[in-house]
Amino acid sequence: MINSENLPKIFDCRFKLDDPNWGENQYKEGHIPGAIYCHLELHLSGPIKPGTTGRHPLPEIDDFTGQLKKWGLDKQSPVIIYDQGPGAFASRLWWMLRSLGFTSVSVLDGGYAKWMGEGRKVGKDIVQPQEASTAIKGDWSKLVSAKEILSNRENMVLIDARAPERFSGKVEPIDRVGGHIPGAINLPFSQNLDSMGCFKDSKGLAERFREVANKKLAIVCYCGSGVTAAHNILAMAHAGLDNVQLYPGSWSEWICDRNRPVATGD
């Protein structure tokens, strides 16, 4: 007999930054059977405080754990997460759950695009999960603040997950200021993937992050708003680097304070 409590919870995190309703509309048209839709801005982000937070601040912990209770989750629940393919939005939920102490969380490699490409089954039923009996206890872990970066940059390896043109400041389509945190290195999250849109194997990822690991310093990941940075953290976990921290406010928070230094160029 199959114990339904041991079946994985599946989450659909498809999203587009320039069209916030796109992912949920796609979910309604078809999704992996049993999947629950998870919205980046409604479920995985808190309210933006102009001049203080970045574009996707983490939600208050009680708000997020309350949502997990509604979804019927506890820290032992096996969880599988997917998005449209690259894994950037799925990685955000992966990181949040892992930060809270969840022990069995996976991102579907290749996402929905690969699922459809392999001709797998699609459902349209809107899942109504049974609420868990108790709320999850805990708080965010493996976080770094802007203040900590400013005071301790020499002991950190800062990794920026954005595209090179945004890192250099040559192009900035989203934020009011281009460039990067001084001393950061640019390792775009897209380069964690192979030509088929799947993660490179652990050997390839270990080589990609070899120089970072050899520095023997604290590793801190950031991006534009704390989303694609989680993709690098997931890739590093596959490469055997687990003690990696996130600067969740990322670039869009960093530039809220005009006194924080900004670097441009490669």
Q: Give the confidence band of 1 by pLDDT, cuts at 50, 70, 90.
A: very low
* pLDDT over 90, % of the chain: 90
CB 255 within 8 A of CB 177: yes
Strand 79-82 relative to strand 35-37, pairing: unpaired
- For 4-117, the fitting CATH number among 3.40.190.150, 3.40.50.10240, 3.30.465.10, 3.40.250.10 is 3.40.250.10
Per CATH, 4-117 and 146-254 having the same topology is answered yes
Residue 5 clears pLDDT 80, i.e. is over it: no
The Cα 184–Cα 176 span in angstroms is 19
In this prediction, residue 205 carries a pLDDT of 97
Q: Give the confidence band of 216 by pLDDT, cuts at 50, 70, 90.
A: confident
Mean of per-residue pLDDT scores for the chain: 94
Q: Give the confidence band of 201 by pLDDT, cuts at 50, 70, 90.
A: very high
CA dihedral 29, 31, 34, 35 (to 10 degrees): -110
In this prediction, residue 6 carries a pLDDT of 67
Residue 186 clears pLDDT 50, i.e. is over it: yes
Per-residue pLDDT tens digits for 65-105: 999 999 999 898 999 999 999 999 999 999 999 999 999 99
CB 187 within 8 A of CB 159: yes
Identify the three-state secondary structure at position 70: helix
Residue with tokens 């270990």: 206
Domain extents for the chain? 4-117, 146-254
Per-residue pLDDT tens digits for 248-264: 999 999 999 999 999 99
Catalytic residue IDs: 223
By mean pLDDT, which of 114-123, 208-217, 231-240 is the weakest?
208-217
For domain 146-254, the CATH superfamily is Rhodanese-like domain (3.40.250.10)
CB 107 within 8 A of CB 94: yes
In this prediction, residue 7 carries a pLDDT of 82
